Structures are given as structure tokens and as C-alpha cells.
Copies of this chain bind each other. A is one copy, B any other.
Amino acid sequence: MSGGLVAVPAPAGQQTVRRHNRALVLGYVAEAEPVSRARVAEHTGLTRGTVSSLVDDLIAAGMLTELSAVRGATGRPASPLQLNRSGPAGLGLEIGVEHVGASVVDLSGTVRVSRRVASDHRDQPPDVGLGAAARLAADVVAGAGLPVAGACVALPGLVDAAGVLRRAPNLPRWDDVDAPERLSALLATPVRAANEADLAALAELWFGDVPADFVHVSADVGIGAGIVLGGALFRGPGGCAGELGHVVVEPGGPACSCGGAGCLERVAGLDALLRAAGASDVEALVAHPGPALAVAAGSLRIALGAAVSLLDVRTVVLGGVYARLGEDLREAVAAELATMTPPVDVRIADPATGGALRAAAASVVRALISG
């Protein structure tokens, strides 16, 4: 504790201050566009001179554009600023158990091109899925015609802080795959990775109409949940929170790839629901769910009931295959959870949010704006 041992923070240099102010200006334009320079100065508390200098730089960097001058209340013409829809864009990728997706969003978060194609990765080495994702990405990037600043890939498993996919129970050959490194090489752009269920929850938070505390269930072959508390993603001490798919809903039930038995994703994941409905694909399941509805609702009562009891979150959002099953499933799950106090609000994910794929792409432009 003697003076010499105490770390003294360096004074914030001019570059630090300028970067901070740049983020202030961009963040406010993103929130309030179209908006005048004068309004930006007023809101941020920066001088008009500082704002003008930063805005000139941001226009030169392709981040902002000026609209045609309009006559303001004072009678002086002003050129409102907005984020540049032709500026740096974000690329979102998704590698699922049976599909890949790619999407480009512009700086405003608007989806410009998005595609999703079937691609079976269940028993394949990682190169198959990574190659399919990279090829689809090249297509959508060419179609969007925007300069891509970076990418984020949604993966159906545990992604560590370095972006390595530690394990994905439904992709047994993908343990410890550094997807960002391999995709960066294929795409020649920086790539991050994140858990698909976490990104799907962020899509609801950023683009949907949800309260500040909720659990979003991502259901496909595997099942995960994104937990949002106080308007922020709750990732847990080790970054692996929300493994709803491995909550036991049928003690002594079928063995799960996680080592347990009777886990939600074995009892009410896509494969189990297809079997229960006697359906060969999702479209057939949705058309004639039959007993699959009761299987899903009964299992979700137990798994979501555990989440509500432990986390005290009172809104649950059903996504993925569960969202495809729609209002019938929502009503059945709500009926199962009706005994809980306080009551639980059960919703279907809003398809307009664009899901994990859009959130992956949007996370790239959000980082550009705040960084």
C-alpha cells in the first residue's frame, strides 16, 4: 500500500477524449436521427466547434451522411445528420445443426440482405459447416454491395471468452473449434463468435417489445436460453448461463449427449417433437403437431418453471421451433404455468426481430458506433 506500489492511472490523452466524444456523437445520432449539428452539440454538451470537427471526420470515414439542407426554426438552413446507409456494414453468420445463415445489416441495423439454407453438420467435420457459412456469406456480401467492417457468428454451443466453441452437444465433431480464426481467414474480415441463444435474446431486447427482465428460449435440435436481467444479457460467472436444454424434465428419461438423462432438449427438442408428431420436417410438424404440443408444454412447464423459480423472471419468450408452433403452444405453456405466483407472461418471439442472425450482424455495427 506504499505510494510506489499503487498503480496511478495515466491521464486521458487527447486521443482517448476524442474517441469518447466520437462515440457520444455517433450514439446520439443513432438514437435521434435525422438530427442537426446544433442539436448534437446541445445534447452532448460538446462545443459546436468540437461537434463540427468530429462530424467532418465521421462523414469522411463514411459513418455519417448529411441530408439536403432544410430551413430550421431559426430560419437558418441546416443539413440534418444521419447514419450512412452506404457506410460500414455488419455481417452476421449462423451455423446451426442443420442450416447456415448469413445476413448484412447497415449502420442503422436495417437488414439489407439475408439468406438461410439447409446444411447438415450433425456428423460432419467443422470444415463442412464453416465452408458453407463462408460461401453463403460471400453471396450476401456481394448482394448487399456495402463495405463489411466485421462479422459475428452465432454458434449452437458453449462459446468461451476467446470465441472458441468449447462444445456443442449436437455437433459432436466441433469440440474446441476456433470458428472466428477459421472464418476470418476464409472471409478476410475480423470475426467474433457468440452463443446462438444469447444472440436470439439480444434480438428481442434490441428489436422486439419486451420488458427489461426475461428469458428467451431458442429451440431447434438443441435448446438454449438467453437470460436478460435489467436490460442486459446475463452470461453467468463462466459465460455459460442459460443452458435450459439440460434441465431435467423427465427423471430417468432418454440419455442426453451432455451425460445426463431426460434433459429438455432430448424430451422436447426438434427431434423428439418430430417423433411425437410422426412428422418428417418442421413444416409437417407445424401443420399437424398432434401430441407434440402436450409433450412440449409439459416439458416447458418444468424447465421454465425452474427458471422462473430460480431467477424470479416473470416473462418468458418462446423462440425457434416453439415460436413456429405459435399460439397453440403459447396457450398450453401459459396454462401449465398458471399456478405460479406472481403470474408468468408467456409470449411468442416476434419474427420481425430477425433473431440471432440479425443480432449477430447488428452486434458488429453496435460495436462500431460505441467503440
Hey, which bits of chain A sit against chain B, CB under 8 A? 1, 42-43, 167, 212-213, 225, 227, 229-230, 235-244, 246-251, 258-260, 298, 301-303, 305-307, 309-314, 339-342
Contact = CB atoms under 8 A, between A and B. Distances in A.
A356 B198 CA distance: 35
Contact of A309 (B229, B243, B301): B243
A7 to B, nearest CB: 15
B236 A313 contact: yes
Contact of A242 (B225, B301, B310): B310
Contacts of A302: 248, 251
A237 B310 contact: no
Given A237-B229, A251-B302, A259 B310 contact: no
A306 B243 CA distance: 8
Contact of A312 (B229, B239, B309): B239
A42 B2 CA distance: 9
Nearest to A166: B341
Contacts of A243: 309-310, 312
Contact of A313 (B237, B260, B341): B237
A246 B167 contact: no
B314 A238 contact: yes
A247 B302 CA distance: 7
A330 to B, nearest CB: 20
Contacts of A225: 310
B312 A310 contact: no
Contact of A249 (B1, B237, B251): B251
